[in-house]
Amino acid sequence: MKKVAIITGASRGIGAATSRLLAQKGYSVCINYLSKSKEANALAQEINLAGGECITYQADVSNEQAVSELFSYVDKQLGNVSVLVNNAGILRPQSRLEDMTAERINTILSTNVTSYFLCCKQAVKRMSTKNGGLGGSIVNVSSGAAKSGSPNEYIDYAASKGAIDTLTKGLSVEVAAEGIRVNCVRPGLIYTDMHADGGEPDRIERLKSKIPMQRGGQPQEVAEAILWFASEKSSFSTGSFVDLVGGL
C-alpha cells in the first residue's frame, strides 16, 4: 500500500525535518505551508532530487474550506492519505497574560487548535474503516509548554497545546476501532526559528542550563519520534505521548 503523508506547517523546523525523514522512508509527502512558499518549494525540490515524492500546497489550515481543498488536492495528486502530521503553529511575542488582547488569544487558538481539529476531521473521513478507508495514523505535535504553562511568556500558546493533548486523547478513543491511531509528541526547547517569532531568537541558549541534558533538541530528534508513531512500528500505540524535553 502506498504511504501518503500530509504534514502541516512543514516549510521549516520540525515540519521540514519530518518531511525529509518520511520521504526517505518511502512516504509520498505533501508539504503544507501558509506563507513561506520559497522555503516549501526548495524543500520539495530537495526531496524530489533525492529520489522521494513530494508536493507542496499553500493553505491556511485554520480555514475549513482551505483544509477540505488541501485534502482533495492530495487525493488527486498522491492518493489516499495514510498519515497526518498536525504541526502548524504560531507564537506571539513573550507577554504576561494581563497584557494579552482577545485578538492575540483568538489568533493563537484558531491557528494552533482549530487547524488540528479540521485536519483530523478530513483525515478521519478518509482513513476510517467505517467509511471504507484503510486506516491510518495521526500524529499531533503538542509542546512541553502544555505541562509547564509557560508563565510570563506564552500562557496562550501553552493553553493551545493543552487543548491538543485533550484532542489526542479523545479522538484516539473515538476512532480506535476504525483502524486509526492518534498519538502525540511534546517537544521542549528545540532549535527552530519559532523562538524568533516570540521575540527571543536565542531563548534556548538562555535556558539550556535548566535542562537536565544541558542542551536544546534538534528538529531531527523530534522527527524520529513522529516517524515511529506514523509507522507500523507503533502499531499497538494510540492515545500515547512522547515527551522530547531533555529531562525537564
Does the annotation count 116 as an active-site position?
no
Host H or E run for residue 33: strand 28-33
Angle between helices 37-49 and 13-24 (to 10 degrees): 20
| Cα dist from 53 to 21, 32, 75, 95, 120, whole Å | 12, 14, 14, 41, 23
Q: Decide if 69 is inside a domain.
A: yes
Under a CB-based contact definition with an 8 Å cutoff, are residues 59 and 122 in contact?
no
**Number of domains the chain is built from:** 1
Q: Decide if 70 is inside a domain.
A: yes
pLDDT at residue 114 greater than cutoff 70: yes
Q: Decide if 149 is inside a domain.
A: yes
The active-site residue out of 27, 33, 116, 157 is 157
Q: Decide if 158 is inside a domain.
A: yes
Q: Decide if 200 is inside a domain.
A: no
Task: Quote the CA–CA distance of 102 and 220 in Å, as a whole number.
Answer: 35
Confidence of residue 37 (pLDDT cuts 50, 70, 90): very high
Arithmetic mean of pLDDT, 33-59: 97
Q: Decide if 193 is inside a domain.
A: no
User: What is the reported pLDDT for 196?
Assistant: 62
Domain that holds residue 170: 4-188+220-243
| pLDDT tens digits, one per residue of 182-224 | 999 999 988 877 666 666 778 878 888 888 888 988 999 999 9
Q: Decide if 211 is inside a domain.
A: no
CATH number at residue 18: 3.40.50.720
User: What is the reported pLDDT for 168?
Assistant: 98
Q: Which residues contact 242 (CB under 8 A, 6 or more apart)?
A: 183, 184, 185, 186, 225, 228, 229
Angle between helices 155-174 and 115-127 (to 10 degrees): 20
Q: Decide if 196 is inside a domain.
A: no
